[in-house]
Chain A
Amino acid sequence: MKKTLLTTVMGAVAALGVSAGASSAATLDDVKDKGFIQCGVSQGLPGFSNQDSDGNWSGLDVDLCKGVAAAVFGDATAVKFTPLSAKERFTALQSGEIDILSRNTTWTASRDTQLGLNFAGVNYYDGQGFMVRSELGVNSALELSGASICTNTGTTTELNVADYFAANNMQYELVAFEKADEVVAAYDAGRCDVYTTDASGLYAQRLKLTDPAAHTVLPEIISKEPLGPVVRQGDDQWFNIVRWTHIATLNAEEFGITSANVGEMMGSDNPGIKRLLGGEFGEAMGIPNDWAAQIIKSVGNYAEMFDRNVGPDTPLGIARGVNALWTDGGLQYGPPVR
């Protein structure tokens, strides 16, 4: 490991910040040393990663990090959250500031191949949609020619809009803001006719508008937005832990294991459940063997996470749709634990 004099000086100066821990390729060792996981999340997207007034984080993306913490430490609270803008998120991961990026990030070829990152799975299948004021009387995205469109910079949404409007031979004006809150403010102020982002984001941000009921999400979904956790490239052990944390929640749902019944399920005769809750796979990943049980105990299975954060009974009111298990015709398919 290379350590220069600069490190030493900086290390002394960095007293205020995070201490200069010894980090190397093995994120797991690093995480175990410091005793918690540093998780990059969004600056506030209800349902995915949002902070209440007491500073507690909640959401689907947040639960994933908590799940990883439960798998590694058996303690879902051993995780700290770093709110990141779209611009900062990849640098933060590349530079080692965070261990997992779980920030509704779309899995694309360029990000997977050029930025030194790996996507560990898809915890939410999303697609880009449009929201308009109901009073406009627009029923389809194809009626939006000439509209002004507000969105975030640094996201795939900007490029998708460009493709969609070019393909349908429509004109538009794009107003792209650095921060999500500014997009909402500008749209709310009437700067734009249309607000576009991932459909889940539209439902979430609609809650922040002055009069949420006066806005409609159009039926068109114009892109594929597989959102998932991201880790640094070249650390397969850590990659596996994050990937299998997600898969464990899927398998748990399939087997009917919930946070409530995980205790009694430990004694189940079903060989699949036995392998998941008591197999030897934890050891292979460098974590305790009861990893899956700990995950389910603390954050629940995928269905519980979904219903708690974004499901029909939450203010967001999103249906499972393509995020249903494969057995129910959805896309969430957990590879077998064997």
Chain B
Amino acid sequence: MASDVAATQQTSEEPQVALLNRPEVRSMLFQGLLTLAIIYLIYSGITNMFDALDRAGIASGFAFLNSSAGFAISQSLIEYSQSTSTYFDVYVVGVLNTLIVAAIGIVLATILGFVIGVARLSDNWIIGKLSKIYVEIFRNIPLLLHIFIWYFGVLRLLPHPRDSADFGFMGLLNNRGYFAPKPIWGDGSFMIFIAFLIGIVAAFMIGSWAKKRQMATGQQFPTFWAGLGAIIGLPLLVFLVLGAPLTWDIPVAGGFRPSGGMTMIPEFIALLLALTTYTAAFIAEIVRAGILAVNKGQTEAAHALGLRQNKTLNLVIIPQAMRIIIPPLTSQYLNLTKNSSLAVAIAYPDLTSVFAGTALNQQGQAVEFISITMLTYLTISLVTSMFMNWYNARMALVER
């Protein structure tokens, strides 16, 4: 049959199709024009830029990264000194500050979001309604306003350093920030860290051994407690054996600011609280939707099998809900990371604030500074979403 058709077509003439009606010609033409237009746009943008830079006599290039910055930064995870550090150091400080607030924010927002998401489904009327109100209020108010309220609103209520709120060993709280005791590790402390690593490895090994044993014999092993024992107990043991080589540098109130201890600056606290509470509202909704999406029959079947409530949750509901939760959760994590750039409004020295802000203002090469900043965020976003895609693929349902 098919060969017949082919044969008739060969004998008859090529069908008369106008040139522009051929899909491949159209497609080539359209793509060619589009490519040309885009190249032209980029080209004219760039030439305009160089024209403007030339005309104005503005320097260009990335040489500034090696020149000395000369201004102070209020929070830095690496060694930073205003007199010797370069703009590149400023960049590193900014990136690290962004990452630390994003990382802690993600952890806290996930915990808070899961708690509230589960609470929304609670049988308890008050708890359910309170969670709903929380979600509605927090997600319907702009994040920037959250940040301002935490920073300018709450900051006013905190005491002056001279009459700091003193929590004894827990540190001091005043409008210069939260001052926590700083651990000072004595000799041999690295052994504790090594013990900690060994503990983690041991926990994994116990886990896989217990799984194999359960598969083989059906007997269960308290993996969680054993793992926890390995991770916490082992370092603790080493710590005690070494004779507890740890002292605390406790902050003392006085002068302009307490001396000693570790400082969490108010900008960090305000930004962290705002990011956490705001994102938690979205995560709570995702968690709720994920749990609701698991068929009720699953719960009933698990109960019928004799699983108790927490086992049902851990072994049946959560693994299934996680598949639905993870993709939107990923985008919330990315949003939180990107939203941390609002730090610029309250002077937390993150990448945007310290690099695309202060450093750019000092140096003036807008194109270079903004490009580096955008590319950095782009990289963070792509890496995070790649990691979460990988994790998602691992968690995805393996069908026959």
Q: Does B bind A?
A: yes
> Nearest Cβ distance between residue A238 and chain B, in whole angstroms?
14
At the interface, yes or no: B357 with Cβ under 8 Å from chain A? Answer: yes
B-contact bits for A134-163, CB 8 A (1 contact / 0 none)? 000000000011111000011100110111
At the interface, yes or no: B52 with Cβ under 8 Å from chain A? Answer: yes
Contacting B55 at CB < 8 Å: which of A87, A116, A144, A153? Answer: A116
Contacting B357 at CB < 8 Å: which of A4, A5, A159, A178? Answer: A178
B-contact bits for A82-121, CB 8 A (1 contact / 0 none)? 0000110011001100000000000000000011110000
Which residues from chain B contact A154 at a C-beta distance below 8 Å? 357-358, 360-362
At the interface, yes or no: B232 with Cβ under 8 Å from chain A? Answer: no
At the interface, yes or no: B311 with Cβ under 8 Å from chain A? Answer: no
Question: Which residues of chain B from 152 to 194 have any CB-CB distance to chain A below 8 Å in the complex?
Answer: 152, 155-156, 158, 160, 175-176
Which residues from chain B contact A4 at a C-beta distance below 8 Å? 44, 48
Q: Pick from A4, A90, A175 the residue with the most CB of B within 10 Å.
A: A175
Which residues from chain A contact B82 at a C-beta distance below 8 Å? 162, 166
Task: Check A116 against B266 for contact (C-beta < 8 Å).
Answer: no
At the interface, yes or no: B57 with Cβ under 8 Å from chain A? Answer: yes
Binds A, one of B19-27, B117-125, B223-231, B342-350: B342-350
Which residues from chain A contact B41 at a C-beta distance below 8 Å? 6
Binds A, one of B71-79, B235-243, B294-302, B314-322: B71-79
Which residues from chain A contact B70 at a C-beta distance below 8 Å? 159, 162-163
At the interface, yes or no: B11 with Cβ under 8 Å from chain A? Answer: no
Task: Check A115 against B58 for contact (C-beta < 8 Å).
Answer: yes
Task: Check A166 against B364 for contact (C-beta < 8 Å).
Answer: no
Q: Pick from A87, A145, A161, A191 the residue with the most CB of B within 10 Å.
A: A191
Number of A-B contacts (CB under 8 A): 124
A-contact bits for B249-293, CB 8 A (1 contact / 0 none)? 000000111010000011100000000000000000000000000
Task: Check B51 against A233 for contact (C-beta < 8 Å).
Answer: no
Contacting B176 at CB < 8 Å: which of A144, A148, A166, A233? Answer: A148
Task: Check B58 against A178 for contact (C-beta < 8 Å).
Answer: no
B-contact bits for A265-290, CB 8 A (1 contact / 0 none)? 00000000000000000000000000
> Nearest Cβ distance between residue A276 and chain B, in whole angstroms?
34
Which residues from chain B contact A161 at a C-beta distance below 8 Å? 72
Which residues from chain A contact B51 at a C-beta distance below 8 Å? 2
At the interface, yes or no: B104 with Cβ under 8 Å from chain A? Answer: no
Contacting A190 at CB < 8 Å: which of B74, B175, B267, B362? Answer: B175
Which residues from chain B contact A147 at a C-beta distance below 8 Å? 256-257
At the interface, yes or no: B244 with Cβ under 8 Å from chain A? Answer: no
Contacting B344 at CB < 8 Å: which of A5, A178, A233? Answer: A178
Which residues from chain B contact A153 at a C-beta distance below 8 Å? 347, 353, 357-358, 361
> Nearest Cβ distance between residue A223 and chain B, in whole angstroms?
13
CA distance A185 to B176 in the complex (A): 15
At the interface, yes or no: B83 with Cβ under 8 Å from chain A? Answer: yes
Question: Which residues of chain A from 38 to 81 have any CB-CB distance to chain B below 8 Å in the complex?
Answer: none
Interface of chain A, main secondary structure:
mixed
Task: Check A116 against B57 for contact (C-beta < 8 Å).
Answer: yes
> Nearest Cβ distance between residue B145 and chain A, in whole angstroms?
14
Contacting A166 at CB < 8 Å: which of B55, B83, B255, B256? Answer: B83
Which residues from chain B contact A189 at a C-beta distance below 8 Å? 152, 155-156, 175
Which residues from chain A contact B358 at a C-beta distance below 8 Å? 153-154, 158, 176
> Nearest Cβ distance between residue A130 and chain B, in whole angstroms?
13
CA distance A189 to B159 in the complex (A): 10
Among residues of B, the one whose C-beta sits closest to the C-beta of A183 is: B347
At the interface, yes or no: A243 with Cβ under 8 Å from chain B? Answer: no
> Nearest Cβ distance between residue B147 and chain A, in whole angstroms?
11
Among residues of A, the one whose C-beta sits closest to the C-beta of B56 is: A116
Task: Check A148 against B256 for contact (C-beta < 8 Å).
Answer: yes
Q: Pick from B48, B72, B266 the residue with the most CB of A within 10 Å.
A: B72
CA distance A190 to B267 in the complex (A): 13
Closest 10 CB pairs of A and B: A154-B361, A116-B56, A116-B57, A174-B72, A94-B56, A153-B358, A146-B256, A158-B71, A147-B256, A189-B156
Q: Given A153-B357, A185-B152, list of 11 further CB < 8 A pairs?
A: A6-B48, A114-B59, A146-B255, A153-B353, A158-B71, A162-B70, A173-B72, A173-B257, A190-B155, A190-B158, A191-B175
A-B contact pairs, 26 of them (CB 8 A): A4-B48, A6-B44, A6-B45, A6-B48, A86-B361, A116-B57, A145-B256, A148-B176, A148-B256, A153-B353, A159-B70, A166-B82, A173-B176, A174-B71, A174-B72, A174-B73, A175-B347, A178-B345, A178-B353, A185-B152, A186-B155, A189-B152, A189-B156, A189-B175, A190-B175, A191-B155
